[in-house]
Structure 1
Amino acid sequence: MFANSRTVASAQTGPHDKLAALVDRHRDAVYRKPLAAYSAGAFDAAIVAWRNAGAAPLIIDAGCGVGESTLRLATQFPDHFVMGIDQSESRIVRGKDWWDGEWPGNFVWVRADLVDFWRQLFEAGIRPARHYLLYPNPWPKIGQLARRWHAHAVFPTVVALGGVLECRSNWDLYIEEFALAVEWLCGVRPVVEAWSPEAGVEPMTPFERKYLASGHGLHRCVVTLPSPLAAPWAGR
């Protein structure tokens, strides 16, 4: 069955009461997790591919899964270069027979740890023009807050990268929390809205397609972030 995805179930009825304290802690702390062994090589290869393609404005497709969103973003923004990043090699290399027509030439898929890749981008002084987090694992149990990206120790670095940041989810509280964390870190209030693709527009990811077919409400947070130079806590 395709249209059989369950809605997110959680005991939370509003933003987590420990979110603000956790975001504050991460903003003020130095994040020292060592890079994964494969991260340096993966990052270097991705940067070479981008520069060889002309170093066009960069789009980060964070957690790209099987890579459909990477291809759609590369098609939608032909004057940009898209990096689709996922930790799972099997998802990235899986067959792409679901894609009709020619592949765009302005993208690369990267097998890397997102936590490492974000920090490497920041340390290298590379700032994306656009940045997507499409349907991340919501970790909906109350005790799982720290596993949500906006409550992770790397999130101040994500915000410090700047650009247009967009997150989508089928759980409205995830998007509400995400927007709160962004605002607390940079002082800019994101746009939070119920959302669905325009008529005739293909869903961006397999999850988006399945959630729509299952009758879920979709939600997104979109924000144009300020210059990272205005964020002294960045890169930690």
Structure 2
Amino acid sequence: MFANSRTVGSAQTGPHEKLADLVSRHRDAAFRKPLAAYSAAAFDAAIAAWRSAGAAPLIIDAGCGVGESTLRLASQFPDHFVVGIDQSESRIVRGKDWWDGEWPENFVWVRADLVDFWRQLYDAGIRPARHYILYPNPWPKIGQLSRRWHAHAVFPTVVALGGVLECRSNWDIYIEEFALAAEWLSGVSPEVEAWVPKDSAATMTPFERKYLASGHTLHRCVVTLAPR
């Protein structure tokens, strides 16, 4: 039952016709959504942990789910500090018996609203060295465009944070749109490619592993952004 993921189905056959207008509108408008109280506290806790660890170059693992990607990033980049963020406390605190060996020490998990956390990072003048958005919900229906991160009102803030921004998905159109939106906002051309982990042990998240086992083609966008 593990390798049973269905491919993403959508009436879209290419980038959404309204993507450019939506990205442009978000770029030119102030985003004034109030911060959630729990997000503010989570941000303070995450930044305190980062600073107490020496304020090493920062990696943001956005939408970390059960936290596997956070642990893998912390192991892969021992001279960085990783903050894994997810809105679901149950996913973050779920048992980690799937992790072999010792845990790295250069990370923290926090429950927060990603939209709030990104804005707080920007307002605090904190700029990540690397930034991962791994297998977000694709929201593939045509009417769901604004739910995709690259078409959300917060995306100009995400791009303005700078760093090496990487997004992975099993839907090629999501990655194509993500790259277009990032380039429109930054003027930097992203690298878009099919992503093939060398084996299941090299996968970063449970979703990546399941999609790979199900025979899906994986895709990623990587762009090096100048912070603003």
Which TM bucket (shorter chain)? over 0.9
Deviation, structure 1 residue 201:
4.4
The CA RMSD over aligned residues, in Å, is 0.8
Query: CA-to-partner distance for each residue in 1:181-213, whole Å, 9 max, x for gaps?
Result: 000001001000001112474210000000000
Deviation, structure 1 residue 173:
0.2
The within-5 A match list for 1:42-121 is: 42-121=42-121
Aligned residues: 228
Paired letter, 2:171: W
What is the distance in 2 between the residues matched to 1:31 and 1:6?
A: 35
Deviation, structure 1 residue 25:
0.2
Q: Quote the residue 1:196 is aligned against.
A: 196
What is the distance in 1 between the residues matched to 2:32 and 2:203?
A: 37
Paired letter, 1:40: A
What is the distance in 2 between the residues matched to 1:221 and 1:44?
A: 30
Q: Quote the residue 2:187 is aligned against.
A: 187
What is the distance in 1 between the residues matched to 2:25 and 2:43?
A: 28
Q: Quote the residue 1:132 is aligned against.
A: 132
Q: Quote the residue 2:157 is aligned against.
A: 157
The within-5 A match list for 1:153-232 is: 153-199=153-199, 201-228=201-228
Deviation, structure 1 residue 150:
0.1
- Which consecutive segments of 4 or more residues in structure 1 shift more than 4 A? none
Distance 1:80 1:223, change over 3 A: same
**Structure 1, unaligned runs of 5 or more:** 229-236
Paired letter, 1:190: P
Secondary structure of residue in 2 paired with 1:38: helix
Deviation, structure 1 residue 127:
0.2
Deviation, structure 1 residue 50:
0.3
Paired letter, 1:36: A
Paired letter, 1:179: A
Question: 2:80 touches 2:106 (CA, 8 Å); kept in 1?
Answer: yes
What is the distance in 2 between the residues matched to 1:223 and 1:198?
A: 22
Deviation, structure 1 residue 45:
0.5
Secondary structure of residue in 2 paired with 1:90: helix
Secondary structure of residue in 1 paired with 2:139: coil
What is the distance in 1 between the residues matched to 2:55 and 2:198?
A: 31
Query: CA-to-partner distance for each residue in 1:65-123, whole Å, 9 max, x for gaps?
Result: 00000000000000000000000000000000000000000000010000000000000
What is the distance in 1 between the residues matched to 2:63 and 2:154?
A: 15
Query: CA-to-partner distance for each residue in 1:105-150, whole Å, 9 max, x for gaps?
Result: 0000010000000000000000000000000000000000000000
Paired letter, 2:173: L
- TM-score by length of structure 2 reads 0.99
Paired letter, 2:46: A
Deviates more, 1:30-39 or 1:191-200: 191-200
What is the distance in 2 between the residues matched to 1:83 and 1:90?
A: 17
What is the distance in 2 between the residues matched to 1:34 and 1:196?
A: 40
What is the distance in 2 between the residues matched to 1:78 and 1:166?
A: 19
Q: Identity percentage over the alignment?
A: 86
Q: Quote the residue 1:25 is aligned against.
A: 25
What is the distance in 1 between the residues matched to 2:36 and 2:45?
A: 15
Deviation, structure 1 residue 37:
1.7
